[in-house]
Chain A
Amino acid sequence: MALSQQDISREIAERAEAAAAADATAAADTERLRHHPARDYAPYRSSLLRHPKQPLVTVRDPEAVELSGPVFGVSDVTELDADLTRQHLGEPLGERITVTGRILDRDGRPVRGQLVEIWQANASGRYLHQRDQHPAPLDANFTGVGRCLTDGEGGYRFTTIKPGAYPWRNHTNAWRPAHIHFSLFGTAFAQRLITQMYFPGDPLFPYDPILQSVTDAAARNRLVAAYEHELSAAEWSLGYRWDIVLDGPAATWTEEGR
């Protein structure tokens, strides 16, 4: 029998309680667990068979290849890639939004000239993907994929449509809060991050095991963009700001001007 939202919510509460108890005795080594989700997070059922049970092996080698990273340049993106509302002949349906922010490393240094990729559902909560078969309409004028390179201050900027919530099959009546997927590179392969940006005030937050897998409330809040009225454009779009901080080893080195 499929699990109910009550079952999942109970598991989410248990995990949050366990995390709070662990926090009380936290050593420096567990600090990362407060920022990133555990890989074995049972309320998210797909994680059960897909998380390693052996501890990760720590590599402390400042010369490691993983401390440099792939390079992207203007040949990897086009001007139109960052405006998801102009990739087709007509205007997509929904609430047009501007999403902007800065990519920084842990020392607050801007991450320049790096690739930011996004993908998302349309305004009705449907992905343009063959395996998304729930009965919400596709939008012939919206693909939901964008790319850009960060500028000299580490800034990125996309014009898109606010995505809708959509059902998924984790448990009965499971609905994901609206979100935009982000794929980010830093200056090191070890800084690689895939994450999701959420919208402020979404009533689905407490019910979503993927968002709640981040058990530290402050860390979870860092996944939520801020509505910024100054960013909204008259008769045109609503503005959201979301800054991203890439993790990575302390030895990660940023080349000037890159």
Chain B
Amino acid sequence: MHPTPSQTVGPFYGYALPFPQGGQIAPAGHDGALTVHGHVRDGAGEPVPDALLEIWQPAPDGSRAGAPGSLRRDGLTFTGFGRVSTGPDGRYVLRTLPPGGVPYLSVCVFARGLLHHLFTRVYLPDADLDSDALLAALESDRRSTLIAEPTAEHVYRFDIHLQGEKETVFLDFR
């Protein structure tokens, strides 16, 4: 069957898709939580204030089964799914648990002007990244766009560049 075409998220998703605590993937009171933050920027280097990021990842034990309760969180269950919109300055922040079995978080980028969403990955630098097939296939300057930079203990910075010199590597799944 032929797929239904993608159409841009539009400028007014803001009251429909974001939900309370959408960026708080880590349950409350968890010692091992990590924070990922950064800016989404366009080809002119300007912040994108109307981007939406979705995050999907395995639990720390490597389980990918997920759990219901992402939209109406109980604050205790780890569901593996997060959704966060950028603020007026193009910045986002999310808190999650370290993914098990893989060294990355999967990210999907939506925005006004982006007719078809984009997939990427946030690799965490303390993991063994040398054995990762995707990273190994990339040239070093492009590879670095997928690796978060530690800015404090358990805090990582990951900027997404939709276009331009530091353009993030975006993925196509076949």
* Contact of A73 (CB < 8 Å), options: B11, B69, B80, B169: B69
- Chain A residues with CB below 8 A from B7, complex form: 37, 181, 194-196, 210-211, 213-214, 223
* Contact of A38 (CB < 8 Å), options: B10, B43, B113, B115: B115
* Contact of B17 (CB < 8 Å), options: A76, A119, A192, A248: A119
Q: Which B residues, 104 to 145, have Cβ-Cβ distances below 8 Å to chain A? A: 104, 106, 108, 110-119, 133-134, 137-138, 142
Q: How many residues of A contact B (CB 8 A)?
A: 82
A250 on the interface (CB 8 Å rule)? yes
* Contact of B113 (CB < 8 Å), options: A46, A56, A211: A46
- Chain A residues with CB below 8 A from B58, complex form: 65
Q: Are B162 and A50 in contact, CB atoms less than 8 angstroms apart? A: yes
Known A-B contacts A36-B116, A189-B106, A192-B117; the reply to A119 vs B134 at CB < 8 A is: no
B44 on the interface (CB 8 Å rule)? yes
Question: Bound complex: CA of A223 vs CA of B14, how far in Å?
Answer: 22
Question: Bound complex: CA of A9 vs CA of B120, how far in Å?
Answer: 33
Question: Bound complex: CA of A13 vs CA of B102, how far in Å?
Answer: 46
Which interface class (under 10, 10 to 19, 20 to 34, 35 or more) fits B? 35 or more
B71 on the interface (CB 8 Å rule)? yes
Q: Are A59 and B171 in contact, CB atoms less than 8 angstroms apart? A: yes
Nearest-CB residue, chain B, relative to A74: B68
- Chain B residues with CB below 8 A from A192, complex form: 54, 108, 117
Known A-B contacts A36-B116, A127-B12, A223-B7; the reply to A58 vs B106 at CB < 8 A is: no
Q: Are A36 and B174 in contact, CB atoms less than 8 angstroms apart? A: no
Stretch at the interface among B29-37, B59-67, B150-158: B59-67
Q: Are A106 and B3 in contact, CB atoms less than 8 angstroms apart? A: yes
Q: Are A39 and B43 in contact, CB atoms less than 8 angstroms apart? A: no
* Contact of B163 (CB < 8 Å), options: A36, A53, A68, A131: A53
- Chain B residues with CB below 8 A from A36, complex form: 3, 5-6, 115-116
Question: Bound complex: CA of A35 vs CA of B44, how far in Å?
Answer: 29
A2 on the interface (CB 8 Å rule)? no
Q: Are A59 and B68 in contact, CB atoms less than 8 angstroms apart? A: no
Question: Bound complex: CA of A64 vs CA of B171, how far in Å?
Answer: 12
User: What would be 25 A-B contacts, judged by CB atoms less than 8 Å apart?
Assistant: A36-B3, A38-B115, A39-B118, A49-B46, A49-B162, A51-B115, A58-B172, A59-B174, A65-B58, A71-B67, A71-B68, A72-B68, A74-B68, A75-B69, A75-B72, A76-B70, A106-B1, A106-B3, A117-B17, A119-B17, A168-B11, A219-B2, A245-B2, A249-B173, A250-B174
* 7 shortest interchain CB distances as A-B pairs: A73-B68, A46-B113, A119-B16, A70-B81, A247-B3, A71-B66, A49-B43
Known contacts A44-B8, A66-B56; can you find 19 more A-B pairs with CB under 8 A? A38-B116, A48-B113, A50-B111, A51-B115, A54-B170, A57-B169, A59-B172, A66-B171, A66-B173, A71-B65, A71-B79, A71-B81, A75-B72, A108-B1, A121-B12, A127-B15, A183-B17, A192-B117, A218-B2
